[in-house]
Amino acid sequence: MTQRRVVRSRPAPPAVPWTRASQPVTDTSQATIPQRYPFNAPVRLDLDARYAELREQPLVRVQLPYGEPAWLATRHADVKTVLGDPRFSRAASVGRDEPRNTPRQQETGILSMDPPEHTRLRRLVAKAFTARRVEELRPRTRAVADELVDGLLAAGPPADLVAHLATPLPIRVICDLLGVPVSDQDRFHTWSEAIVSTTSLEPGLAQHYVDNLLAYMGGLVARRRVEPTDDLLSAMVRARDDNADRLTEEELVTLAAGLLAAGHETTVTQIPNMVYVLLTTPGAWDTLRDRPELVPVAVEELMRFIPLGATAAFPRYATEDVELGGVLVRAGEPVVVNIAAANRDDSVFADADRLDLTRAVNPHLGFGHGVHHCVGAQLARMELRVVLETLLERAPGLRLAVPVEDLTWKSGLLVRGLVAMPVAW
């Protein structure tokens, strides 16, 4: 993806005191042979047992399919530090052979920025995703969910939950918010796969999809200049045209395309993931059907429990020597994190490998942490809650229409998810 990525030097922040005084700090970056990573191909929504072993050790050196070796963090505390401590930089990946799962160097716009550049862009869109603004979208989202469930039920069992509900709902919501014609969904949903693809698309086709997405969004930007409306894209165009120092044209188009793609891709995947877990965990669906007031808590627990990411991505580079997890990470070395492993850390979550739909304290990292915490987290939460509430009310007897072994899972993507999910009721 072609886009401007600005990196400016800044004074090094003060060192953070190291708290694990009882754990010796080791410098093994030169002596350790990196382990191949990911360790295994993902299986359904199972979390590799290797992560439980790794959480008992310091950081480990790994080699992703492409790029230079990296440290892998799996503990909750270490992952939070890497994601939240300014001594670990995303902008420092610019110009480096960063660890990655795809042969192409995919520039990621705002995801490759540090403050203040990151703050400048995020501030332009953050107001559209506040809890208050998202709550205003809830009635419309519920109406869309009811309409789509009507179609699901009318299709008769077996009906595909992915095609009838999980895919169209997030697309329609983000289209309404941004001001994108939902009639174009087949085109931009296809192109958006390039954003989450590792090997599902060959590099030339992936770049072609990215170029198409950017060209499409550039055309919408031009249209909004002539015909402004009350949507996020028009607000971004006004911000650009009123003060070009706040947003370049390239940043405007790239940011809008990223919001469109990221604003629906992960939720499209997570809806069937959550339903799958609820239907395959004994008693889980019945618990929510009998106690629908638990849905908000259940969504947080499902975000913790489900290993949405198929692998680690978006490395952070140490800007100075940092002691982390009992290991000395040298300045200039990259660290990747596995959020799913951190979300199963039993030093933070009691009985971490068990789905607990009543878990009251849940500091999960399912939406990330730090400055790159998902800007659309509140929107995703609302959509997931609405979908579950609607299904529990409209299809209380929901069940899988095929054996678990017959379900087909996506592959070659940064995220795990189902290709289709036949259900009955």
Return the ∠ at Cα 367 (arms to 275 and 347), rounded to 5°. 90
Task: Report if residue 6 sits inside a domain.
Answer: no
Amino acid 29: pLDDT = 52
Task: Report if residue 411 sits inside a domain.
Answer: yes
Tokens 């990946």 -> residue: 93
Task: Report if residue 360 sits inside a domain.
Answer: yes
Q: Label the pairing between strands 88-89 and 159-160.
A: unpaired
pLDDT tens readout for residues 48-75? 999 999 999 889 999 999 999 999 999 9
Task: Report if residue 30 sits inside a domain.
Answer: no
pLDDT higher than 60, residue 20:
no
- Bridge partners (DSSP) listed for residue 334: 317
Looking at per-residue confidence, does 217 or 32 come out higher?
Answer: 217
Please state the pTM of the whole predicted model: 0.89
Mean pLDDT, rounded, of the chain: 90
| 26-37 average pLDDT score | 71
pLDDT higher than 50, residue 9:
no
pLDDT higher than 70, residue 4:
no
Residue 98 belongs to what domain range? 35-424
pLDDT higher than 80, residue 7:
no
Q: What is the 3-state secondary structure (H, E, C) of 300-315?
A: HHHHHHCCCECCCCCC
Task: Report if residue 24 sits inside a domain.
Answer: no
| 348-372 average pLDDT score | 96
pLDDT tens readout for residues 71-119? 999 999 999 999 999 999 999 999 899 999 988 876 668 889 999 999 9
pLDDT higher than 70, residue 16:
no
Amino acid 24: pLDDT = 55
- Ranges 127-131, 349-353, 412-416: which has the least confidence: 127-131
Start-end of H helices in 70-130: 76-84, 117-126
Task: Report if residue 3 sits inside a domain.
Answer: no
Domain count within the chain:
1
Task: Report if residue 221 sits inside a domain.
Answer: yes
Q: Which residues 6+ apart lie within 8 Å of 180 measured at CB? A: 174, 188, 220, 233, 260
Task: Report if residue 198 sits inside a domain.
Answer: yes
pLDDT higher than 90, residue 247:
no
- CATH at residue 368: 1.10.630.10
- Confidence band for 139, pLDDT divided at 50, 70 and 90: very high
| 226-237 average pLDDT score | 91
Q: How far apart are the first and last CA of the chain?
A: 43
Dist CA 420 CA 238 (whole Å): 40
